[in-house]
Amino acid sequence: MTVRLLMTADAIGGVWQYAIDLAASLDPLGVDTVLAVLGPQASPAQRLEALGVPRLKLVETGLPLDWLSDGPTPVLDAGEAIARLARSEDVDIVQLNMPSLGARAVFDVPVVAVTHGCVGTWWEAARGTRPDAAYAWQDELVCAGLFAADAVVAPSASYAAVVARYHQLAVPPIAVHNGRTPLALPDVAPVDHVFTAGRLWDQVKNTALLDRTAARLSVPFRAAGCEKGPHGENAPVSHLTLLGQLNAAGMAREFAGRPIFVSAARFEPFGLAVLEAASAGCPLILSSIDTFGELWSGAALIVDRDDDAAYADAIERVRGDAGLRKHLGEAARNRARRYTPAAMGAAMAAIYAGLIARTGTGRQVAA
């Protein structure tokens, strides 16, 4: 027998890739996935990705994302629409990758809320306070959705602890590490430059520090990602070589030369770009946040100061020591083998099975 899962996603950020990889890993475990996309429609390339997952049904809902909404009403209405979709699709379990959708909606089957990041924990990391009044409603809806869920999942134990503390959850979220299928790399010669990737406009990514670091280097420091955020945020830079938003093929070309990959993030629930770099065998230089310590300790060079000179020194150390560079690249690739879609899918399937068994709903799921 199969289990039918309704999972929400958006086509803008990393949640799309997470959802596609998870659905593909659930397929051999007997889980059919209805992927409900909120926000802007999927691109033609993304639709092709979805078509490549045998048991996935793509539903583009046109419903709003919380972080692109001006108030709570559209998000609450979207949650109720997702609950109706769950009933019409006759699913056995729901996974909300936007927990705010569960704030008021009533579901007939168990709900797993996966917190990939939220406005409250981001705001605390970026500014040291609770969100401003204009964003407080988002914080409240996320919290309500987490409390309403039958299970809460976070992509790392470090972020799970942050979520439990910030939202005052009696039970910390279950940590299920993200998994990523390694990119297909073209055959290119090794390069002598530095690379980073992510939401460059996001202040917790520390783009300003990376730009200052680039000014200290004698080699290019290339940066992939959006420079402008959805609310007018931007990352003015003078020294980074900006590549814009790259698709999977573009990222594969960047990683294929095994550049030194750097993340100076001050807040990161997981970090898929780091995993992609590690899978390619890139040497990693990372900030000393708890998430990176949990995931990459012993497989990366950790910089424990928010100081561009310290990052530049670490980069030059790796550039100048071929043995260290090789060791870091191999260590990163070996560590990346822990974080696979198969491991992620097995862990999520076990959670689904436990909830279905506990509530007496649904069909049998392989765990």
Residue 364 pLDDT grade (very low, low, confident, very high; cuts 50, 70, 90): very low
The tokens for 168 are 């005052």
Q: What is the mean pLDDT of residues 353-361?
A: 85
Between CA 352 and CA 294 the distance in angstroms is: 25
CATH number at residue 203: 3.40.50.2000
Residue 364 lies in a domain: no
Residue 187 lies in a domain: no
* Per-residue pLDDT tens digits for 195-214: 999 999 999 999 999 999 99
**Burial state string for 188-202 with b = 16 or more CB within 10 A and e = fewer than 16:** eeebebbbbbbbbbb
As a 3-state breakdown, the chain gives helix, strand, coil percent values, each rounded to 5, of 45, 15, 40
The answer to pTM > 0.85 is yes
Q: Examine the domain organization and report whether 140 and 81 are in the same domain.
A: yes
Q: Examine the domain organization and report whether 224 and 254 are in the same domain.
A: yes
The three-state secondary structure class of 293 is: helix
Q: Examine the domain organization and report whether 124 and 229 are in the same domain.
A: no
Q: Examine the domain organization and report whether 67 and 203 are in the same domain.
A: no
pLDDT value at 239 more than 60: yes
pLDDT value at 223 more than 50: yes
**Per-residue confidence (pLDDT) for residue 2, from 0 to 100:** 86
Q: Examine the domain organization and report whether 290 and 351 are in the same domain.
A: no
Between CA 37 and CA 11 the distance in angstroms is: 7
Q: Examine the domain organization and report whether 272 and 163 are in the same domain.
A: no
Q: Examine the domain organization and report whether 151 and 221 are in the same domain.
A: no
Phi, psi (degrees; rounded to nearest 5) at 241 = -90, 105
**Per-residue confidence (pLDDT) for residue 1, from 0 to 100:** 58
Q: For residue 25, what is the enclosing H or E element?
A: helix 14-26
Average pLDDT over the chain, rounded to an integer: 94
**Per-residue confidence (pLDDT) for residue 233, from 0 to 100:** 76
Q: Examine the domain organization and report whether 203 and 284 are in the same domain.
A: yes
User: In Å, how far are 136, 298, 301, 310, 357 from 307, measured between CA atoms?
Assistant: 32, 21, 15, 5, 51
CB 363 within 8 A of CB 27: no
* Per-residue pLDDT tens digits for 47-81: 999 999 999 999 999 999 998 899 999 999 999 99
